[in-house]
Structure 1
């Protein structure tokens, strides 16, 4: 499969390094675009701009097992927002791309200890541990949650068949329900049938009570 060329550069946002992690295939780029944006104007200069200042209309936020990614789907250029990035930098980037979070606060009773969080109306929640980006989760019950996907096009609303085609998946029953893991990604399914769908998705440090 032909890969879309992207510039191999790193950039800093308020002192936090955001590094290029790899090219995006034409198939994955098209999949991401179709679920996240009706049209993304072509602009090859986004790869040279600090993503905290990138035009939201030119950028797509993608979920990643190691954090988040900002993608220019027209060129395949990506920038990682990796776990461990400073909380202030992550909030600055996400606020620029999708507006201020609906809720901010601290979960005091998480297994990993107190975690601060930022939550948007479409079900995206970010968790921070000691001022650093630690994890994210998506609640599929929220309106618009299915527009947030991985580079491979997997998000809430994806079927188990689609999930199995994109990743090597292990499924088990837990107190949360039908739970799956796909490498560092985790989530819940509505059932065990091929047509059942992903209802939530997460990676990194989360705050679920089992």
Structure 2
């Protein structure tokens, strides 16, 4: 191989490493906030109050998979809650056929306020904590969360109406 060909091959290898190495990871398909869900590929929102069937279908398309389970808890505060749960840790709550809340344990999904499930307590934005029967809880701008045993990290986050198993 000539010197010129060798240099060209080396340059292509170096440049290909730069191109593939500089790729940013794709953003998660949705982010969660106090009013519902914001798809990252669209300016349209999925706010609380939307119809259950449409919300489940849309979120399933965005996540690339449908819920693993849809269950109803009859005894839950203001009435029965139907929960659609995805394998990675997202649960959407519905009451009387309307989207009313979410619970998330998926560290890949962004949550408003700079929170993520799994985030260490030291990395969290400033919040005040309260000890409850579930453990150490916090809330900020209608986003609430629960820390892990030992208070080291965020175990789960939620907004809207939720129903925790007793």
Please give the TM-score of this superposition, normalised by the length of structure 1.
0.62
* Pairing 1:149–2:110 present: yes
Q: Deviations over 1:4-49 (max 9, x none)?
A: xxxxxxxxxxxxxxxxxxxxxxxxxxxxxxxxx8236xxxxxxxxx
Equivalent residues of 2:130, 2:137 under 8 A apart: yes
Equivalent residues of 1:112, 1:205 under 8 A apart: no
Q: 1:63 aligns with which of 21, 25, 32?
A: 32
Structure 2 alignment gaps of length 5 or more: 1-23
Shift of residue 160 of structure 1? 2.3
**Partner secondary structure for residue 93 of structure 2:** strand
Aligned to 1:83: 48
Change (3 A) 1:116 1:192: same
Change (3 A) 1:71 1:107: same
Shift of residue 65 of structure 1? 1.1
| Separation of aligned partners in 1, 2:75 and 2:129 | 27
Pairing 1:16-165 to 2, within 5 Å after superposition: 38-39=25-26, 60-72=29-41, 78-98=43-63, 99-139=65-105, 145-165=106-126
Q: Over aligned residues, Cα RMSD in angstroms?
A: 2.1
Equivalent residues of 2:114, 2:124 under 8 A apart: no
Please give the TM-score of this superposition, normalised by the length of structure 2.
0.77
**Partner secondary structure for residue 115 of structure 2:** coil
**Partner secondary structure for residue 79 of structure 1:** coil
Task: Tell me the matched-pair count.
Answer: 142
* Pairing 1:185–2:143 present: yes
Shift of residue 66 of structure 1? 1.0
Change (3 A) 1:172 1:192: farther
Structure of greater Rg:
2
